[in-house]
Structure 1
Amino acid sequence: MSERAVSPAVVIYDNYPGNDGHRGEYYALMARLIGSTRTSSLWRALWARQPVLDGAIEASVGSYILLCVVRAAMGRRTAGILFRPLPLLEGGLLRLRVKRMLLGLVKRLPGVATLTILPFELEPGFARFASGWIYDPQYWDLHYPDAVDADRPIGAFAQEIRAAAAKRRVVVAVGRQDEAKGFDMFSQLFAARADLRERWLFAFGGRVVDRLVAPCLDPFVAAGGQAKSEYISHDELLDLYAAADAVWCCYALDYDQASGVFGRAIQLGLPVIVRKGSLLERTCRAEGLAYVAYDGEVASFDGVAVPAPTDPVLAARRARQWGEESVTKLRGFLGLA
């Protein structure tokens, strides 16, 4: 007789079935850590006997509210993760006020847990509509539960960047480049500051996708910046971090949220350049991370102030601690502890 199939411990609901961005990695990690299976069927999620985790509440707040209400009536657990809680807290638009009100109401239901991926210490107001928090998985997934890409040799792209830098230090911007990711600030800072270019090389890998910042590309390249304005492979992405002395995480005012680029950088012990006053700066201060804050004024940036990297052993230890803490919390909210 064949072995009886083991039922998944958790059903993860996401109404978007694709794996673009980091979705595929995110759900594969959850499957390993909490024994989950994924569905894009709201019907299946509504009637699942197992605890249900809405993997991305922002994709459909209405679906999440329905899940919480119907499943609470049946005495079944439902949790959800908010990736961008700040607009819900500060937004004045009617749709944001309605979502905030509804999330505050379902928070009171038995068996419901809405979680942010930012600690309440950074913004206590998140507690108005969320039950708790975990660290963004991209703040710890390179080291918990196991080390990933730890012994990978430096690739050709990293060697190319380092050769162009000569004896200069390197700032990298990773992935899609647009106004939200601060490409205008990144490129203009390098192009405008000859004194900075003597000590630093700025390099990026990823498509420039925003027509508003596309005009910044040519002056950046003319000033000697390293540009790979195209889709980059996973290995090339890793090479950007391998070549870096600091990582650009200085994002637009309306893109104030946790960041996978930021998370990967701090897991590797790399200093980060963040926007002054942002949630990422608050994270750096609260957690004692290596960083410099930039206000967007070209003349104000001090390259000398960029700190040295954190000991990779200490960075890995912190990531493992955050991972263990986050998974323990998540299992508790789902009733698996």
Structure 2
Amino acid sequence: MHSETGRRPAYLHVLERLFGARRGRVRDLFLSRAAVIFLAVEETFFLYVLVALVRALAGRRTVGLLLRPMPIAVSPRLRCCFRRMVLRAMKRCRTVRTLTIVPFNVFPAFSTIADDWIYDFQLWDVTEEEREAVEQLRRERRPGNRFVMTALGTQSRGKGFDLFSDAFARFSVLRKRFTFLACGKVSPDIAEYALVLEEAGGVAVDRALSHAELLGAYAASDAIWCFYPRAGDHASGILGRAVQLGIPVVVRQGSLAHRLCTVENLLHIAVAPEQIIERLTGPLPPQNIAWGRYAARRFAQRSEATLREAFGMAPEPAAKTADASQGASPAISPSRDPTTTTAAFQEPP
């Protein structure tokens, strides 16, 4: 758990820990004997296709992650149709593996453009040290007479911050039941909603959080606001870390996040804007630390196995896999193949 906004650096960190990955230069992409992975195919699409095809001629593996597969999978726009056609054709190449970070059973159309899928790294990357720190803070917490609902990360309309603030200000029944807390930089175009929240008795921390503050915010929360757009097609680090820590999340009804929570049986409340009072005054799922740990372990095992196969690495020994399923999460247990180094590529920030 590195920052509110550092999704791809967090991905690279996991790949470094598990597979010995390193950040590569453009030259490395073509010349590396080891597998190469692109962390965001959408942002370097033509380079990904070129590198994959050139490397395929030499029998070398190339892996690409689709972070936002929805437009390519379903959009009628010419650009997306072209990319959809190219990815479908590339599925015939054995040395090229395109992966989504959303399970196919959450949105089956993704299977038409990708070879396989993993769980978003931020659904299984919390370390034992971070988990223990949050649990220690929870034990020290003095519960009040209201639940704490927290919106973390950059606050914007896309994340439903306007609805979050407006609902708290308008409905006294919510103010009696919850303390609404927003922690993260507020987008300038909705800055007035931070004032609305504060005037109603909520709390708005309009700045980026440090790592320690982020852990503290999770520990202080009874539910996490994850009200992302219905068409949002990627998992969120905020949602993912809440899931791993066993904290219920509030998601937009019918969104991809809602589908993910339903399919994976994650602690959640699905809310439509017109039903916010009804849903948030109903039963609140209790936190379940053990379930969060189990889910993260399961996500890690499935994702590591898929990545190992994509990289052309040998499967994990059965004994080690069994030990991991009974003990520490494999998300924090390095599983490097001593003969393989993965070159990971991402665009400079």
Asked if 1:169 is matched to 2:147, the reply is: yes
Q: List per-residue Cα deviations over 1:115-164 (Å, max 9, x = no partner).
A: 01111001111111100001111111115xxx2313326899x99xx77x
Percent identity over paired residues: 38
TM superposition shift of 1:193 = 1.1
Counterpart position of 1:97: 81
Alpha-carbon contact 2:101-2:234 (below 8 Å) kept: no
| Larger RCO (CA within 8 A; separation ≥ 6) | 2
In structure 2, the residue corresponding to 1:114 is in which secondary structure?
strand
2: CA distance, partners of 1:270 / 1:239: 13
Counterpart position of 2:251: 274
Q: List per-residue Cα deviations over 1:203-241 (Å, max 9, x = no partner).
A: 011110241x22222111111111101121111111111
TM-score by length of 2: 0.83
Counterpart position of 1:149: 130
- In structure 2, the CA distance between the partners of 1:272 and 1:219, relative to structure 1 (3 Å rule), is same
Asked if 1:133 is matched to 2:110, the reply is: no
Counterpart position of 1:325: 302
Query: How many aligned residue pairs are there?
Result: 311
Alpha-carbon contact 1:177-1:210 (below 8 Å) kept: no
- Structure 2 residue aligned with 1:81, among 42, 65, 77? 65
Counterpart position of 1:221: 198
Asked if 1:34 is matched to 2:30, the reply is: no
- Structure 2 residue aligned with 1:116, among 69, 83, 100? 100
Counterpart position of 2:6: 21
The amino acid that maps onto 1:34 is F
In structure 2, the residue corresponding to 1:60 is in which secondary structure?
helix
Alpha-carbon contact 1:203-1:227 (below 8 Å) kept: yes
Q: List per-residue Cα deviations over 1:146-188 (Å, max 9, x = no partner).
A: x2313326899x99xx77x831001101111111222112111
Alpha-carbon contact 1:114-1:130 (below 8 Å) kept: yes
The amino acid that maps onto 1:326 is S
2: CA distance, partners of 1:310 / 1:225: 22
Structure 1, unpaired ranges of 5+:
1-18
- In structure 2, the CA distance between the partners of 1:252 and 1:301, relative to structure 1 (3 Å rule), is farther
In structure 2, the residue corresponding to 1:152 is in which secondary structure?
helix
1: CA distance, partners of 2:49 / 2:93: 11
2: CA distance, partners of 1:154 / 1:131: 38
Counterpart position of 1:6: none
- Structure 2 residue aligned with 1:308, among 279, 285, 290? 285
Alpha-carbon contact 1:82-1:117 (below 8 Å) kept: yes
TM superposition shift of 1:257 = 2.1
The amino acid that maps onto 1:71 is R
2: CA distance, partners of 1:153 / 1:299: 29
In structure 1, the residue corresponding to 2:97 is in which secondary structure?
strand
TM superposition shift of 1:314 = 2.5
Counterpart position of 1:15: none
Asked if 1:193 is matched to 2:171, the reply is: yes
Alpha-carbon contact 1:181-1:255 (below 8 Å) kept: no
Alpha-carbon contact 2:174-2:277 (below 8 Å) kept: no
Counterpart position of 1:263: 240
2: CA distance, partners of 1:140 / 1:220: 32
1: CA distance, partners of 2:278 / 2:33: 55
The amino acid that maps onto 1:151 is E
- In structure 2, the CA distance between the partners of 1:86 and 1:210, relative to structure 1 (3 Å rule), is farther
2: CA distance, partners of 1:134 / 1:264: 16
In structure 1, the residue corresponding to 2:251 is in which secondary structure?
strand
2: CA distance, partners of 1:48 / 1:153: 40
In structure 2, the residue corresponding to 1:255 is in which secondary structure?
coil
TM superposition shift of 1:25 = 2.6
TM superposition shift of 1:49 = 0.9
1: CA distance, partners of 2:284 / 2:135: 23
Alpha-carbon contact 1:189-1:298 (below 8 Å) kept: no
1: CA distance, partners of 2:72 / 2:135: 41
